[in-house]
Amino acid sequence: DTGVSQNPRHKITKRGQNVTFRCDPISEHNRLYWYRQTLGQGPEFLTYFQNEAQLEKSRLLSDRFSAERPKGSFSTLEIQRTEQGDSAMYLCASSRPFRGLAGGNEQFFGPGTRLTVL
Amino acid sequence: AQTVTQSQPEMSVQEAETVTLSCTYDTSESDYYLFWYKQPPSRQMILVIRQEAYKQQNATENRFSVNFQKAAKSFSLKISDSQLGDAAMYFCAYRSDKAAGNKLTFGGGTRVLVKP
């Protein structure tokens, strides 16, 4: 399977602990996105990378959140000092380079990491 | 900022019947893409159908078709001949053609239930 993979699939942690999630995009996809989806809601954009450069961050991404993509391949999302409000599904998506109006590059999503903060 | 609204939290349809999901959006841009994504229970989100704003013709993908009304900023999804496997959350999404990164802005979703 060459789709987007995310690990772990589920994470339960206690408030105040740090957690780290990993996303492996489809190979040759240079763009990688992180979204957060709370229960019963649509996903919300957090941040995106083009290769190893983090080019945009949502204001949802507080100082406790940090994302990296060190070699332009896999990415990690770390949440420090977790709070109960961080409980959500964290989705990763990847896409090919954008090629203009005719491109319409599709974002392919991973299965997500469900975080529960007790 | 763009917003996407799905006013139907849940829709129920009989197997083999047709259901239409509503989506409205707000934008000041003229070039953009609209999408419908399907998220089955405990499974990853997949793209159902895509519409380019510059195209007047409505997109179709097998049993799925859209009614794109650019002036009204409306983008509904019609599922024909509904199957049990169509049961899922459906999300309408907007993507700017000009903003860097091409992030997706999603609506709140509509749950589709298919009755056998």
Closest in A45, A91, A111 to B103, CB measured: A45
Top residue of A26, A37, A58, A90 to mutate, by most chain B CBs within 10 Å, is A37
Q: Flag if A43 and B108 touch (Cβ within 8 Å).
A: no
Does B100 score more than 70 pLDDT?
A: no
Cα–Cα distance between A62 and A43 in angstroms, integer? 17
Q: Flag if B104 and A106 touch (Cβ within 8 Å).
A: no
Residues 6+ apart with CB under 8 A from B57: none
Does A103 score more than 90 pLDDT?
A: no
Q: Are A106 and A25 in contact (CB under 8 A)?
A: no
Q: In angstroms, how far is CA B66 from the centroid of its own chain?
A: 8
Does B77 score more than 50 pLDDT?
A: yes
Confidence of residue A102 (pLDDT cuts 50, 70, 90): very low
Asked which of A23-32, B10-19, B94-103 is least confident by mean pLDDT, the reply is B94-103
Q: Flag if B109 and A42 touch (Cβ within 8 Å).
A: yes
Residue-level pLDDT at B33: 92
Confidence of residue B22 (pLDDT cuts 50, 70, 90): very high
Using the Cβ of A43 and the Cβ atoms of chain B, whether some distance falls under 8 Å is answered with yes
Does B4 score more than 50 pLDDT?
A: yes
The pLDDT tens digits for A38-86 are: 998 999 999 999 999 999 999 888 999 999 999 889 999 999 999 999 9
Angle ∠(B91,B96,B100) on CA atoms, nearest 5: 120
Residue-level pLDDT at B15: 97
Indicate the Cα dihedral angle A98, A106, B61, B91, nearest 10°: -130
Top residue of A98, A109, A113 to mutate, by most chain B CBs within 10 Å, is A109
List of chain A residues whose C-beta atoms are within 8 Å of the C-beta of residue B106: 42-44
Taking CA–CA distances from A99, the nearest residue in chain B reads B97
Using the Cβ of A25 and the Cβ atoms of chain B, whether some distance falls under 8 Å is answered with no
Does A108 score more than 80 pLDDT?
A: yes
- Segments of chain B assigned E as strands: 3-5, 10-14, 19-21, 24-26, 32-39, 46-52, 60-61, 64-69, 74-79, 88-96, 104-106, 110-115
Question: Please, where are the H alpha helices in A4-112?
Answer: none
Residue-level pLDDT at A76: 98
Residue-level pLDDT at B97: 77
Q: Are B37 and B90 in contact (CB under 8 A)?
A: yes
Cα–Cα distance between B17 and B21 in angstroms, integer? 13
Residue-level pLDDT at A1: 54
Taking CA–CA distances from A114, the nearest residue in chain B reads B42
Does A31 score more than 70 pLDDT?
A: yes
The pLDDT tens digits for B34-76 are: 999 999 988 889 999 999 998 889 999 999 999 999 999 999 9
Residue-level pLDDT at B102: 79
Q: Flag if A44 and B106 touch (Cβ within 8 Å).
A: yes
